[in-house]
Structures are given as C-alpha cells and as structure tokens.
A and B are shown apart, each in its own frame.
Chain A
C-alpha cells in the first residue's frame, strides 16, 4: 500500500493544488480532504496548505481551526500522525494550539513574496529527516502575516528542545529569533511559513535556483512512513 498523504482544502485555500502536486512528485498518493468532512479517509500524513482560509478574516487560520476536519486532524496529530502546516496551514496549527506561538503582521506591513535562504535546524522531525541539520536551502515565502511571535519563555523552550525547525538567514518579516518554522514536542507536527511546495521542480521553482530545495519535506515524510512500516516502499 503506497503512502497516502492528505491535503486539506478550506474555503479560501489557494495552494492545495500545489501541495497535492508536491505529494505526487515525492512519490506518495495525494488525497484531497474537505474541511467539512471529519473523515480522514485513511491517510498516513496530512498537509494543511497555504492560502487565505475564510479570507484570513478575523485572524489568519482562526475560523478554519473550527472546521470539522480539524477535530480529526488534532486528534490524529496527538496520536502521532505527521502533520505539516504551510503558511496559512501553520497559522491554523497555531490557532489549534498544536504548535506554540502565533503569526502576526509582518514588520514591513506588506505582503512579501520572495525567495529566502533558510537553515534547516532540526533534521529529526517527521518532515525534515531528508535534510542535514544546519543545511542551507532556498524556498519562497509569500505572506503578509508571517511574523512568528511567542513569549520569551516559549521561545527559550523551543530553542532548548530543538524544536526550531527552520530559521531565516535574512529575516524578512521580523520573526522572533528569525524563526521560520517550528515543531511540536513529538516532532510529528511541523509548521512552516515558507512554501516548500513551490520549490519542487526546475521549471517553476526559485530562480536563479536552487529550484527544488522544498522537495525533501515531502520525501522525508514518505521515508518516515516507510521506516515506521506504516506503508510499503
């Protein structure tokens, strides 16, 4: 049985098609999940993609967090299912309290779409096993409210427990300690402001490259699922 990776669509989600493609390119079977449907349809991992769920009105991710599908995602995450939230998905995970902190308006006030350099700091999460700790990668960001914020105690704890997954080399939005992505304590839930699904092929990835630095997020989880014998290679 091949790995089945679900991609959730909320009303206002934009990057679901991209995430589904990334899952497919990585070699897993992409499965569309609909926000009103609490059934996870037997998926082995879940991506909450980018976009503007519910228009990003009120707060990014605030309304999506109450969708029926999120009840199931939260339960599955607590049981260890790998969950990746990208951009708006990261915001949904924070609003759901699966991840600490919050994402607020960028320091520059503006929406920023830019290829950024990151270091992958934690190579032991479900989604980053394919990277080397400290590896530098290029992945696009595109957000208006991507400034990661948490109280000092939480930030210290994230650092101390190796849960800072990725850090900006040139902090584009004033994120606390240049944090671009974090994980939960178990390492199965990862939230990331940059968009790895936009860096998976030479034709459409960052220019001038490297163009495919995002792909390992998707191949890593596949490898993790195979290693844990949840699915066949």
Chain B
C-alpha cells in the first residue's frame, strides 16, 4: 500500500462525522478519558489525535496513578544549593563543583526484557542514555540493577543470559563503562524480571539543555534513525479498525536497537552542543514523535506545525497514526534557528546521521500536523503533555500485612546454626547462594574501562568515575533495593534501599548528594499495591529529608505481575556522590596484613527479610531491620572523613548476608585472610549474619586506630575492634576457620555452574 492511497482521518472529517465509532478502548483509553478528549477538542478526535492522547495519557507517560504520590519528592525535598534541575525534566542535574554538573537517571525496561531479553535490555540502556544526552551531557557510565526469578528456573536461563548480553552488547558498543548494578534472584520475579538501567552524564554547568520549542520560525528537526513500525501494536489496531481496506503490513512486536546508530548520534549531538546550535532538544522514547512534539511545544512558545509525511521512514507502509506512536530507537528532535541550520546539517552529515526538518515553531498555541497537505492533528499541546488524567487511586493496607509481620524469624521459629561446624557450613552455603555469590560471570561481559576514567567498578561498594584528570574531581554511584524488606514494610523498605545506596557511596569516600529512583510495583489498580506504593514514596521522601539528598528524577514501573500475583514492591534507589579527589577513594579489599578491623555501627538480632532466612528457610516474615537515619548520616560522615584524613585502608558496607559476607568479600578481593574475634554478648550467629542497617567494616593501619575510634565515639556511633587482617584463612576465633581458597571456590563456583 502506498502512502498516497491512504485516506487519512482529517480534522475536517472528524468535524463532519462526529458519530464515527472509534476503538479507543483497544488503545487503553477509558470511557471518561475519551469523553474528556472530545470535550477538550470540541469534536471527536481524529485517529491520529486519538493515537496521541492514548499514548500521552497512558500510565507510562502521564504517571496518572503515581503523580499524586511523586509530588512530595519535590514539595518536601531537603533544602540544597546544588540542585540545578529537579524532577520533571528528562533527568535531574546536580552541581558537582569546578564548573561541572552531572545528570543521572534510572529507568525500567522490564516487560520488553521478558519478551525478548537481549533487545529488551539493550533498548533499555539505549533509552536511558538518550535521556542523559538530551540534557546536554556526555553520557559517561551506566549501571544495571537486575532482578530475576529463581536462579535455577528454566525461564531464568532464558532471560538472564540474554539480558546480560543485551546490556553489554548495547552499552559496550556505546563506549560507556558499566560501573555497577545488582543481580538479585527471587521467585516473585518469575515471569516478570526487573531490568532497570541507570545512566549518568557530565556537562558544563552553563550548558544545560532543555526540552522546549522556543522562538516562532525556528525549525523542528528530526534526526537519527528512520522511523519504523516498532512498538505500535496499539496504533495498528487503530489504523486497521478505522480503515480496514488496505491493512498495513505486519508490525514488529519488539523494538530492535542499533547501538552503532546511537553511538554516532551521541557524538553528533555533542558536537552540535559544543557549537551551541540547538535552542531545545528532546529524545524520542516512549510515545516517540507524539511525546517529543507535544512536550517540546508545551514547554516552549506553545505552538508547532509539523509535516508528518516528511519523517524519514524505514517502512513506507506506515500510516500517520503509527508514525506518531512508533517507538523506533535512536531518534532525537531538536529545535534549531534558521541561522544555525546549515551548520547543524553539516555536523549530522559528518556523522552520517540523517536529519530532516519536519516542522516549525509557532506562537499559535496549537500543535498542528499535516499529512500530504491535509490537517490530521490540531490540538493544544498542553492538554496532551500536562493535562492528562490524574487518579487518586484507592489504597489500603493489605489484610495479610499484620500476619506477615507477626511471622518473625526468631530463634524459636527458624532453627539457627549453633557451634563452629554449623556456622562454618552456613557461611559456605551463604557465600555460594545466588544472591551473594560472585557475579564475575555477568560482570566480565561488561566493559568497565572504556574512556579510561573508571576508578572503581564491579566488586566495589560503588562505581567511581573521574571527571577531571587535573583536579581528580569524581563521582560515585550505587543502586540498591530490597524487595523482601519492602514487602514486609514498604515505608521502611524504601528507606533501607536509600540508606544502603547512601552507605555504599560513602564507603568509597564520596559524599552522597542526590537520588534517582525506579519504583517497580504491581498493578496500581490493586489497592494493596497502591498502598505499598504510597508508603514507599512517603518513606523515601522522609528519608531524603533527613539525609539531605533530594530526589532528582526517576521512573515508575507498574503492572509488574504475573496474573494477579504482584512482584515484591521493589523501589530501586540510585545515589550519586561526589569526591574532590578520586585518588583517595576507599576500596573494599583487605590488602595489608596486620591492619586492624573495626566494626562500625550496632548489631541487633534482625533477620526479617534477611538473606539467611531466604536461603536456608525460604522464609519471609517479620519486620525488616530498623533504620536510624540520623545514625546512617553519621556513619556516612565517618566514612568520608576517614577517607579524607587518610585513616582508612578499606571499607565495606554491611548489608545482605551481614558481617561475615562483608568480611569474606573483602578478604577474597584483597587476597588476604582475617582473624576475627566477635565483640558482643550476642549469639555468634547473630553477630555474623544479622542484617542490621547502619554498619560498615573498615580496615585501618594500627597507627590510625585510635584516631578513627575517637571519631566514631565523638559522633556517638558504636565502634568495636573485631580483628586483624592476617594469613590466608578467614577465621572466627573459637568458632571456625575457612581457607580463602575454599571460600573462593564456593563463592565463584555458582554462576559458572548455573549459566556457564
């Protein structure tokens, strides 16, 4: 079918045929939403307009269920002076000093990664990197927090290898170091893996770009890949339902990424930015051209005229509704003045990037689109971008929450290992369990070195990137989240995710500054899920206030469920930190024999949602560890000050698996053993495996022990000497001893056995 025989649904036709039935339900538009669209327009929408409203008012783009809860991130944000761009733009921007700013954001690509793991994950990386690029920044790193079903499940073996190859395949080809992330297994993610991706970029403070179409007469340029039929299942319904005559050819169900195209697009954009050739820019992500045109227009002078038939196509049979909804990857839209256009085109030509003027900025307040001369869209862009439906979804605390919290994993309920032999066996079992085991099999598939500024990456508490070779200025990033904790108590669970990421950043010597979050939840139409969501948002907001780290942006992923079974609520939190000189970074490895090991923080008997209860008893119940955010802040300051004053040789935060897991990791990483004497009166099992928050283990030279301990005491943070770095075994005196080689075999064997 050629485009010329396609009879577009024009505004004129829409006015003349108010009674035409439109398949809005198939596009996910509710009755009342459709009625509102008709009211806004004063007529029925054209099929192209309906396509646009349906995607722009979708949960994914309009945040209609989450908006009322997300607001508090901005409204109750801590007062800070470093936030240059807050929530609402493509990504937040933070002032990191020396004229530099950093932008970072996390996003999810969960559902596509289940359907086609490689392409789903790959395009997830591609999408978030374009958000960073859109802010005017050079993307400089990615992180990939992942969640899968049980490690031995057949479907995990389909999904995980593909996801990992996809993230590596795309990220490596972009030349972006992968400096962190997570790999977590839990039965709740069977059939619904979580593939979140975070990207970070750097730019000059003065060069932030915004997504707005200003200046009537300026050109609207579409550049990058051609538009294909990717991700337009819905639009095809529309096109064929309205015009069943010439059905368009088959449309792909999955988006395929072209990382090479994205790489040249990045370099092309950076050259364009360097010459200051755009007045506004927007990436094409979800909702493609619909989103880019409406958001640019709505944020700018207010109007835009677009000749949709000028968009370069990969598939000539695409109809306007499909072009508007296509989610083809690797595309950008810029607003360019007539003077700058020739140079803009020159740079695109240099990078072999196709660029096409498809429209003009106007001051009409209307977004108008034509298709071969006929008007098919005529709307107020703000009604699409900002005036979507907002739902106050009902929510209530689940009936089962009390029973779940009452089912505490105390000693009477779950048998605990006692005595050296049993503890020893438990240590070996725990380090080999999939969530705690060595992830080298995954991490080796990622390039963490490219660009030559990676100071810390995999195996460290946070990834760290040098921004300036002259001064040593750098940033650190960590992502964390614990679905089990959050299931037990969504408010505290979200806070614990933040606290852990915060602690990880501080442990490497960087000062935590700001937050991005990816909120992975079940269906918002389920009031119990909605309660989890509301609690998590409230918890995160409260915690950010105390820690002084504002949320700068993030993403919500709803409908993560198989049938009616929702995943554990899983807020994944990314924390960005800054360090004035990366040369003073703290590693987690124990490197020097004779150094003193100190445990900072307080250990309680806390096993609700713990890794031990999960691995050994497949138990989930009770309450997550208590959180003292003031204490957490003090610990952060201690870790940063310890690094700044040169007291610390190593630091490692305590989280999943508790003290013994942290010790084991630091020993194996540095190739040195440790002799440990447990300090407290607690049961050794509790000392070793409890997951109490607000703790870290550090190694200090003997000469620094007093100074460091004094610093902790001064801040009222408990500190205890627990041993020394020594030999080639991990020994807990009076309990057991494990040669490093044996420990390493258990720890490193799991992934190759499962996936190798």
Contacts and interface: CB of A to CB of B under 8 A. Distances in A.
Given A55-B259, A204-B466, A195 B165 contact: no
Contacts of B591: 208
B450 A15 contact: yes
A54 B452 contact: no
B450 A111 contact: no
Given A12-B260, A52-B173, A55-B173, A112 B444 contact: yes
A12 B264 contact: yes
A11 B175 CA distance: 12
Contact of B260 (A54, A113, A114, A204): A54
A207 B260 CA distance: 30
B466 A52 contact: no
Contact of A204 (B165, B258, B444, B454): B454
Contacts, number: 93
Contacts of A204: 449, 452-455, 466
B452 A21 contact: yes
A113 B173 contact: no
A45 B587 CA distance: 38
Nearest to B460: A207
A203 B455 contact: yes
B451 A17 contact: yes
B523 interface: no
Nearest to A202: B583
B452 A208 contact: no
A18 B451 contact: yes
Contacts of A124: none
A142 B350 CA distance: 28
Interface residues of A, number: 30
B165 A52 contact: no
Contacts of B589: 208
A114 B444 contact: yes
A113 B583 contact: no
B455 A113 contact: no
Nearest to A111: B445
Contacts of A56: 173, 260
A11 B583 contact: no
A130 B466 CA distance: 29
A201 to B, nearest CB: 8
Nearest to A34: B350
B671 A51 contact: no
Contacts of B453: 204
B28 to A, nearest CB: 35
Interface in A34-65: 36, 50-52, 54-57
A32 interface: no
Interface in B248-297: 258-261, 263-264, 267
Contacts of A208: 589, 591, 670-671
30 contacts: A11-B263, A11-B264, A13-B175, A14-B172, A14-B173, A14-B175, A15-B175, A17-B451, A17-B452, A18-B449, A18-B451, A36-B350, A51-B175, A52-B173, A52-B263, A55-B173, A56-B260, A110-B165, A111-B169, A111-B444, A112-B445, A113-B443, A113-B444, A113-B449, A114-B444, A197-B452, A198-B449, A203-B466, A207-B587, A208-B671
Given A50-B450, A111-B446, 9 more contacts: A11-B263, A17-B452, A21-B452, A56-B260, A112-B444, A140-B449, A198-B452, A204-B455, A204-B466
Interface of B: 165, 168-169, 172-175, 258-261, 263-264, 267, 350-352, 443-455, 466, 469, 582-583, 587, 589, 591, 670-671
